[in-house]
Amino acid sequence: MPLLLVLVTPLTLVAAETTTLKDALAVGTRIRSQVSPELLFESAKKKESELVGTQLRVIRGRHLHLITDLPSSKEIDRLPQLFDAAVPLWAEYFRLEDKTVGDWKMLGVLIGDPKNFASTTLLNRVPKLPHGFSVGNWLWICEQESDYYRRHLLLHEGVHGFMNHFFGFCGPNWYMEGLAELLGTHSWDEKTKTLTLPYFPEHRDIVPLWGRIRILNDLRNKNQSRNIESVLTMSFDGADNTPSYAWSWALAAFLNGHPLYGDLLCDAVVDVSLPHAEFTRRFRSKLEAIQSGRVHVDWNDFLDRLEYGYDFQRNVIKDLTPGKPLKDAAPEITIQVDQGWQNAGILVEKGKKYRFQAEGRFQLAQEGRKIWWSESGGVTIRYYQGRPLGLLLGAVLSGQKGGKFDLFPIGDATTWTAPESGTLFFRINDTPSELQDNSGTVVVKIQAGL
């Protein structure tokens, strides 16, 4: 997987702490002025002179000159065009002005067969790896079976080069690789020649061989999910770092997509020159300060239902206020079927029995003019996570399980004994990517002490 070599060995290059984007850009300028030329390799012109008499060729764009041994094709030849389209989007993400970016360039090598480069020095300092590598203003990617994943690797390595050039550093591994994954995962519209990033994949067929969501769901099913702290401190030194890249993408995508945390990743770029432990400490502190550390509940809910096309806006838990004990009267709680977990405002007590009765007919999906109707018992024509679609679910959030919902089925009616004390939540069982075509409500009556 992608690997970044730090160009600057004397960390004393950064003497002052950065507090603004302007400060961070100044650090990048200072570092570039002090990097010895040999670390940036020879000039592109000299490198290209080595191509004479070989089957290698150069494809040129505004921001990327790409050397490759692969034959001409539509997908290969437009890679610099794709890169050129990405640069202003990266600049927009980091809030850089166009004049700051200017005609910044990277020099890339796309490798079909390493033997074709034997007569050149283009691979002399490149480790053997199956995916990509970058250092300074150079990047290398190996040919892939998927057009999408080839583009993804190119953009991933480009983000490393972009951050190193303009900010001097990329931060600790989880941040460096998380941003490269976030800003490398993309959608390309061939008809309009439009690039979209950051992009949360809507379907696995759009991103063949990318595999991040599959990896994470496999780990979840094996009870090997990571909490946020373990992502912030995970190692990239294993024989197979693929899961680490998946986790770094997951955290970056979660923070970027959730309305409460969207600015944190971008804003943290002002701290990339700090020692990695201090960078992470500051980031953790800012994250924990948002609504008393509710991020752990949001993260666990995201991982528990991670799917392609995840709808952040509809799955946001709007209210985490602790519930109050249920009084003698049986309250009625109205649940919106197009939203994620919804707070009932009730504290259930460990060991106490509760009776739930639900009423309501609602739209569960729409395909053209055909509407799928459901009641709170769900429809068995389709299942999600082993339960009928549309089934009314309850959950207890107690704080005793690291901010995880303890889920139980309700359906039309059920009697249930609380396994622990905590706040009661409801939602219907549906994929987090398909709530937009739901419509209607379910009314739940609750009685205690039966």
pTM beyond 0.85: the answer is yes
Residue 29: what pLDDT? Answer: 62
pLDDT-above-90 percentage for the chain: 74
CA–CA separation, 308 vs 27, rounded Å? Answer: 38
Per-residue pLDDT of the chain (450 residues; tens, 9 = 90+): 333 333 333 333 333 455 666 665 665 565 555 444 444 445 566 667 778 778 899 999 999 999 999 999 999 999 999 999 999 999 999 999 999 999 999 999 999 999 999 998 888 878 777 789 998 889 999 999 999 999 999 999 999 999 999 998 899 999 999 999 999 999 999 889 899 999 999 999 999 999 999 999 999 999 999 999 999 999 887 667 889 999 999 999 999 999 999 999 999 999 999 999 999 999 999 999 998 889 999 999 999 999 999 999 999 999 999 999 988 777 999 999 999 999 999 999 999 999 999 999 999 998 888 999 999 999 998 999 999 999 999 999 987 667 899 999 999 999 999 999 999 999 999 999 999 999 999 999 999 876
Residue 36: what pLDDT? Answer: 45
Residue 43: what pLDDT? Answer: 57
Residue 31: what pLDDT? Answer: 53
**Which residue ranges form the domains of the chain, and what is each CATH number?**
11-304 (1.10.390), 318-448 (2.60.120.430)
CA–CA separation, 364 vs 388, rounded Å? Answer: 12
Is residue 410 within 8 A of residue 393, CB to CB? The reply is: yes
CA–CA separation, 150 vs 385, rounded Å? Answer: 32
Residue 16: what pLDDT? Answer: 42
The token pair at 33 is 């002025």
Amino acid 345 reads G
Residue 125: what pLDDT? Answer: 74
Residue 124: what pLDDT? Answer: 83
Residue 52: what pLDDT? Answer: 77
CA–CA separation, 149 vs 170, rounded Å? Answer: 22
CA–CA separation, 313 vs 227, rounded Å? Answer: 22
DSSP assignments along 302-335, one per residue: HHHT--TT--HHHH-----PPPEE--SS--EEEE
